[in-house]
Amino acid sequence: MSQEIESASSPEEAKKPSTFRFVDYRVYQDSKRWFQEVLSLKGLLESTPELWNQLKANVMSVVMNITSSSTKLPLEARRYLGFSITSANKAVACLDMACDLKILTPEEFQTLSHGFQGVIIQLKGFIKALGVHIKARAESEKSSVLPA
């Protein structure tokens, strides 16, 4: 057992080792919540297995790419967060098709797509912040080079 888990004062602390930065990201928490919402649709979408499988895979991809981004340098992290945006858009397309097939009501579609819109907004903000970090670092490195 790791020292982090042994020294934790509560089960919640034991679940969140400091090496897993993504656990504290709001966008990660929100995307997990929307993944759980999508899982609750299983009974409705089982009649269309292709659509159900695509929806599950894309929502899981949102979460997993956020996770992957946390271990990357800023430039590569931006790519993974972009993959999350693409997957969120694909998930909303699946929900839209489910609405067209009368599997979801327009209200259910609106609620779910609004949730994914919030995740996409957060991801875009995260990407922008990483871009600022990259630019600042490049300028810092440029100014630290001495002229010949």
Q: pLDDT (tens digit, 9 = 90+) per residue, 3-38?
A: 333 333 445 554 555 678 899 999 999 999 999 999
Contact status, residue 66 vs residue 90, Cβ threshold 8 Å: no
What is the rounded distance in angstroms from the CA atom of residue 9 to the CA atom of residue 20? 18
Q: What is the largest CA-CA distance in the chain?
A: 70
Residue 46: φ, ψ to 5°: -65, -25
Q: Is residue 134 scored above 80 in pLDDT?
A: no
What does the alpha-carbon distance between residue 111 and residue 78 come to, in Å, rounded to a whole number? Answer: 27
Task: State the sign of the Cα–Cα–Cα–Cα dihedral 17, 23, 26, 32.
Answer: negative
Question: pTM for the whole thing?
Answer: 0.79
